[in-house]
Structure 1
Amino acid sequence: MKRNAVSAGWLSVLFAGLGQLYNRQYVKGLLLVLTHAIGIYLFVTKLYPDLKGLYTLGDKGQHLEKVGKLFKNVPGDHSIFMMIYGVISLIIVALFLAFYILNIRDAIFVGRKRDQGSEVQGLSNNLFPWLLLALPILGVLFFTIMPIVFTSLIAFTNYASPNHIPPKNLVDWVGFATFKKLFTMNSWSDTFVGVFSWTLVWAVLATVTCYFGGILVALLINQTGIKLKGFWRMLFIIPYAIPQFVSLLIMRNMLNEKFGPINQYFRYFGLGGLPWLNDPFWAKVSVIVVNMWIGIPVSMVLVMGILTTIPKDLYEAAEVDGASAWMKFRNVTMPFVMFATAPILITQFAGNINSFNVIFLLTGGAPATMEYNNAGKTDLLVTWLYKLTLDFNQYNMAATVAILLFLMIAALSIGIYSRTRSYKEEDMIQ
């Protein structure tokens, strides 16, 4: 009885490439043996020390040592660099394990073909797509996965100013202590609850106003009897065509309480100006209205494209049945629009939770308040995270907020999308 598959499999377990050599795939086998040997050398000389550094995060920071009668500044371990190298080493080890498992599976697969009497080929054409995909896969691993893992790990350390900033001080693993501090320490928990609540309110209002505002504008322009439709489309698309940061900075100047043109016009007519960006309530109203100005054109263009795909027969049948304009909108137009735009609506909702530009460029999170820790009344979680990182060096707290923000967006997006008609009908088709 032929047992080529078993023999090749165990040889590949012993050392990558031996199974392929046993299966008479000499070029492939030699390449795999060389790769395995290089992997062992790298693990012993580089990867193991880096993995050990990820575990310890260093033994001694930058310090002074007495040399003769003088003190010399001696570089120590840099915990953050050690963490980065450790995460990269983890990814490389994971890639090597995947290579090792695939090597065993390949040896068994080819061995079974030999047992069945099939012809064994050398390097097959199936390798070509993997060669093309290798660079994108490595790019995703090291420029997407690695930063996500690194940021997540920081949340479980005490990496924060003033006592744990390398290279002078080391960083230590603290487990879930930062999460506990965020929810139990009043200065942090009150800020988190306040900013989180406003983030949800903002995301809902920004999404709903832009979405239904876009539908309203698209329906008005699409009405029969409206002349110069091309002009109106161009007029409403201008705010979207202008770079967003330019529009936001212009609106910030226009809403200035003392020198802004809007308050100047109010005073010209004998009315007092409003503290558009300096009062908590009016600042929130201002960011929502300005967001409508730059967000409605996106929904308008999308809906106008969908309106052209709705069969005219449905409207004619509705008119024959005596349906009013509102009934045609509710029973014909809106179902078509919702079906086509539900996934995009959820994407806009998730995007508004992470809407950094509007808040940062318009208010900067202001007005400031003593109720919050390093946050203002219009700060979203993402802008608060930015301040914690770049302004206050509270890296562990920022990483904790980032993890919670990701979990919130993922849970809300998946939960809402799974209840939409688009998802249900797509699931039925499959």
Structure 2
Amino acid sequence: MSTANPTAKKNHNPKLAVILSILLAGLGQLYNRRYVKGALFIILEVSFILTLGQFINYGIWGIMTLGTLAGTDHSVFLLIYGFVSLILIAFAITLYIANVKDAKRDAIRLRDGEKTPTFRQAAKNVWDTGFPYFFVTPGLVMLVFIVVLPLLFTVALAFTDYTQYNQPPRNLLSWIGFENFGRLFFGSGTGDSNIWQDTFISVFTWTVVWTVVATTLQIALGLFLALLVNDPRIKFKRLIRTILILPWAVPAFVTILVFAAMFNDRFGAINTDVLAMFDLAIPWLQDPFWTRIALIMIQTWLGFPFVFALFTGILQSISKDWYEAADVDGASRMQKFKSITLPHVLYATAPLLIMQYAGNFNNFNIIYLFNEGGPPVRGQNAGGTDILISWVFDLTFELNQYSMAAAITLILGLIVTGFAFFQFRRTRSFKEEGNI
């Protein structure tokens, strides 16, 4: 008894449908006798070529050359046009791949004798199965142009010679490869050219010290106060918690400005009222060392209330049965802290604590509002308390060193992303349930 499908078309070639779809979107569908779908693909491709073909050609030329006529071609605009063209090409390739797959799938169905849905049925199936993608797509498109495009532009600037003395449209930009990164890491030439390397090493070192010390202190103080308030022997816990949370309730920029006035060398209350009793006067805003000490103390004050509130909630959720069992075993207070309290606290809060470190690594507000990254340092183009993000701000808006600012931004992003990813992967809270 024959089992062959009588509706099968053995002479229908899926490879030919694929080739036709590659030559022109929609031809494969026409070969499969899906005329409406094929016509739509053809109209879409022809419209794309006619409306955007010239723009894409101009954009690709622009991103490759960055212009050829100084005063006429604007390298920055050409760079943006180029990336927009690449994004449009990526969308077009995605649709083209979908067109080829659709033609191949329908051709295989025809060859095997399977029933192919009508256009109305296909449209209904697409809506039923793909409606989440229809709602996500507009947001994805906006994300690409609002977030991805500026990121690509910043990365590209890091490989150009865009400086205060080489700005379009008066001058054309050029691709210089990794020269900016070489100036930061290894220096270039002699004399003043090494200022970039010296400044980068100094700023990067202080950024790491600032991040580690300030964040660790605010976490340690928050944990200490949370343990203290959580002790059953402490009374008036609600009042104490309310008082300790108050620094968090005041806007950070207000607190920073108040502290900037208090630490002022000439009229600040710390020098004139507190240290004057001991015949001391510290140059808080003139000496980089003391400015850094002041910044660390201010950040500790600003950061500990959040950590305190976080740890307080975690401590209250730890079962008291474990402490009672530890008392039966004769464990000391320190042993109970190391074996019960600390592991539970870190397990529940590790991602948020990592975010504290990452946030302080890019904490622009306190550095800028307190002393604008000062005081100045001889032989460097950054202030004594500038961290990488505030140095980028100065390079962009004051020194107009756009390409170097972009290079530092790229380094900054890679450091924060790598650190956060590495630490998250090491924390148990990042692992999937059942794989802990």
* TM-score normalised by structure 1 residue count: 0.90
Q: Which amino acid aligns with 1:181?
A: R
- 1:362-381 paired onto structure 2 within 5 Å: 362-372=370-380, 374-381=381-388
- 1:261-340 paired onto structure 2 within 5 Å: 261-266=269-274, 269-340=277-348
| Worse-matched range after superposition: 265-274 or 239-248 | 265-274
- 1:18-417 paired onto structure 2 within 5 Å: 18-23=27-32, 25-62=34-71, 76-114=72-110, 115=112, 117-120=114-117, 121-123=121-123, 124-125=126-127, 126-162=129-165, 164-182=166-184, 183-185=186-188, 186-266=194-274, 269-372=277-380, 374-417=381-424
Inter-CA distance 134–278: structure 2 relative to 1 (3 Å threshold): same
**Pairwise CA distance, 1:26:** 4.6
Q: Which amino acid aligns with 1:405?
A: L
**Pairwise CA distance, 1:422:** 3.6
**SS of equivalent to 2:385:** coil
| Worse-matched range after superposition: 326-335 or 238-247 | 238-247
The answer to whether the 8 Å contact 2:215/2:300 transfers is: no
Aligned partners of 1:113 and 1:241: how far apart in 2?
Answer: 65
Aligned partners of 1:24 and 1:98: how far apart in 2?
Answer: 23
Aligned partners of 1:358 and 1:2: how far apart in 2?
Answer: 73
Partner of 2:191: none
- Structure 2, unpaired ranges of 5+: 1-9, 189-193
- Structure 1, unpaired ranges of 5+: 63-75
Q: Which amino acid aligns with 1:261?
A: A
Aligned partners of 1:122 and 1:23: how far apart in 2?
Answer: 14
Inter-CA distance 86–315: structure 2 relative to 1 (3 Å threshold): same
Q: Which amino acid aligns with 1:292?
A: T
**SS of equivalent to 1:170:** coil
Inter-CA distance 327–102: structure 2 relative to 1 (3 Å threshold): same
**SS of equivalent to 2:375:** coil
**Pairwise CA distance, 1:140:** 1.4
Inter-CA distance 232–55: structure 2 relative to 1 (3 Å threshold): same
Aligned partners of 1:388 and 1:309: how far apart in 2?
Answer: 48
Q: Which amino acid aligns with 2:57?
A: Y
**Pairwise CA distance, 1:410:** 2.4
Inter-CA distance 265–35: structure 2 relative to 1 (3 Å threshold): same
| Worse-matched range after superposition: 141-150 or 178-187 | 178-187
The answer to whether the 8 Å contact 2:106/2:116 transfers is: no
Inter-CA distance 312–43: structure 2 relative to 1 (3 Å threshold): same
Aligned partners of 1:54 and 1:393: how far apart in 2?
Answer: 22
The answer to whether the 8 Å contact 1:27/1:122 transfers is: no
Inter-CA distance 122–206: structure 2 relative to 1 (3 Å threshold): same
**Pairwise CA distance, 1:28:** 3.9
**SS of equivalent to 1:382:** helix
* TM-score normalised by structure 2 residue count: 0.89
**Pairwise CA distance, 1:4:** 6.1
Aligned partners of 2:433 and 2:197: how far apart in 1?
Answer: 40
Percent of residue pairs identical: 41
Aligned partners of 2:308 and 2:174: how far apart in 1?
Answer: 51
Aligned partners of 1:20 and 1:313: how far apart in 2?
Answer: 70
| Worse-matched range after superposition: 222-231 or 264-273 | 264-273
Inter-CA distance 319–91: structure 2 relative to 1 (3 Å threshold): same
Q: Which amino acid aligns with 2:391?
A: W
Partner of 1:429: 435
Aligned partners of 1:130 and 1:28: how far apart in 2?
Answer: 19
Inter-CA distance 289–24: structure 2 relative to 1 (3 Å threshold): farther
Q: Which amino acid aligns with 1:352?
A: N
Offset from partner CA, 1:317-353 (integer Å, 9 cap, x none): 1111111221111100100111112222222212211
The answer to whether the 8 Å contact 2:159/2:176 transfers is: yes
Count of residue pairs brought into register by the alignment: 414
| Worse-matched range after superposition: 120-129 or 374-383 | 120-129
Offset from partner CA, 1:347-381 (integer Å, 9 cap, x none): 22122111111111112111111131x20111101
**Pairwise CA distance, 1:25:** 4.7
| Worse-matched range after superposition: 34-43 or 296-305 | 34-43
**SS of equivalent to 1:410:** helix
Q: CA RMSD in A?
A: 2.1
Offset from partner CA, 1:158-182 (integer Å, 9 cap, x none): 10011x1112111111112222222
